[in-house]
């Protein structure tokens, strides 16, 4: 039982990272119906930016006190901002022109962007795994036979906090309303005076910034990264978004935590589990798409004609 609960804790912190990435997939898909393949690489870029910022600040070990909190916050926010800008640039340069093209076209473009980003990162930091500095101390708390580390708590709190902020933003602000309107009917939204281009750019900004946050968190949590990290994480996060109901923000969160749990528990209980986790996660994706394509929280919509 303790082993099981331990895997639940591990799965939830893993899921927090997937959930943050899944939010970006779900927001972009919700508004322009595009699977943004490059999103996973924007997430890795978040880790790379964090590395560069920490190096720039001269940090290579645990930071303490108020200055330490400031360093962590500055790195997190800067990584989010840089990733957000990257996302906006990708949308502007690669996707906007193809908004009315056959659906295959932007999808193929997104794969191309993903390859370009991966190659850029490979040229930037080389093809081997890179160590991420141990920025925060990681004491472990025993809680009824289960060990929870400070990092795990931080991941979960940050993921839930950012999602709550996003939810508030989408349902309580004018720009959030504009996003929902644009997602529902782009032409009608435009006729109502909403600047559709700005709204879509804002969606990319926020989604990519969340991926940037996930990138920083994963660097801290795993202590390592490499240029190809985003491919698998991106696929799993996309699975999470589909599982939760694509286009649905709360669903992305639920899906993210579910995928994290499934992965952690499969690793523990399937013989030779670690090497089969990808197979398990993709099988979940296929099963969800076949039996409940609208996901756990999504409404089933008829195909737009």
**Phi, psi values for residue 148, rounded to 5°:** -115, 130
Q: Among 78-86, 205-213, 247-255, 271-279, which window interacts with another protein (CB under 8 A)?
A: 271-279
Q: Is 211 in the site for another protein (CB under 8 A)?
A: no
Binding mask 168-207 for another protein (x = CB under 8 A): -------------------x--xx----------------
Structure tokens belonging to residue 291 = 């039996």
Gap between the Cα atoms of 224 and 47, Å rounded: 9
Binder to another protein among 59, 77, 81, 116 (CB under 8 A)?
Answer: 116
Contact 126, 226 (CB under 8 A): no
Longest pairwise C-alpha distance within the chain: 59
146-149 and 224-225 beta bridge pairing: unpaired
Contact 232, 28 (CB under 8 A): no
Gap between the Cα atoms of 211 and 26, Å rounded: 12
Binder to another protein among 17, 31, 35, 135 (CB under 8 A)?
Answer: 35
Q: Is 108 in the site for another protein (CB under 8 A)?
A: yes
Is the CB of 142 or the CB of 305 nearer to another protein? 305
Q: Is 301 in the site for another protein (CB under 8 A)?
A: no
Q: Is 238 in the site for another protein (CB under 8 A)?
A: yes
Minimal CA–CA distance to 256: which of 47, 43, 75, 112?
43
Is the CB of 95 or the CB of 257 nearer to another protein? 95
Q: Is 89 in the site for another protein (CB under 8 A)?
A: no
Binder to another protein among 61, 66, 100, 300 (CB under 8 A)?
Answer: 100
């Amino acid at each position: 039982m303790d082993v099981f609960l331990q895997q639940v804790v591990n799965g939830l912190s893993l899921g927090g990272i997937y959930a943050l990435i899944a939010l970006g997939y779900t927001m972009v898909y919700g508004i322009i119906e595009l699977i943004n393949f490059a999103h996973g690489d924007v997430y890795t870029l978040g880790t790379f930016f964090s590395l560069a910022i920490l190096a720039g600040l001269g940090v290579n070990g645990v930071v303490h006190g108020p200055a330490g909190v400031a360093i962590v916050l500055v790195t997190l926010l800067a990584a989010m901002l840089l990733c957000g800008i990257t996302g906006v640039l990708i949308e502007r340069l690669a996707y906007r022109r193809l908004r009315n093209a056959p659906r295959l076209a932007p999808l193929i473009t997104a794969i191309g962007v993903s390859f370009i980003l991966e190659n850029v990162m490979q040229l930037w930091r080389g093809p081997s795994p890179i160590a991420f500095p141990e920025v925060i101390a990681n004491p472990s708390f025993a809680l009824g036979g289960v060990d929870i580390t400070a990092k795990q708590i931080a991941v979960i709190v940050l993921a839930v906090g950012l999602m709550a902020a996003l939810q508030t933003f989408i349902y309580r602000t004018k720009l959030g309303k504009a996003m929902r309107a644009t997602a529902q009917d782009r032409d009608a939204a435009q006729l109502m005076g909403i600047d559709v281009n700005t709204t879509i750019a804002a969606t990319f900004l926020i989604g990519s910034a969340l991926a940037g946050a996930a990138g920083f968190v994963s660097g801290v949590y795993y202590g390592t990264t490499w240029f190809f990290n985003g491919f698998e994480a991106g696929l799993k996060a996309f699975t999470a978004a589909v599982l939760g109901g694509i286009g649905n923000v709360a669903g992305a969160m639920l899906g993210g935590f579910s995928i994290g749990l499934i992965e952690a528990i499969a690793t523990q209980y399937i013989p030779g589990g670690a090497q089969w986790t990808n197979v398990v996660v993709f099988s979940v994706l296929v099963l969800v798409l076949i039996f409940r394509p609208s996901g756990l929280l999504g409404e089933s919509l008829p195909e737009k004609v």
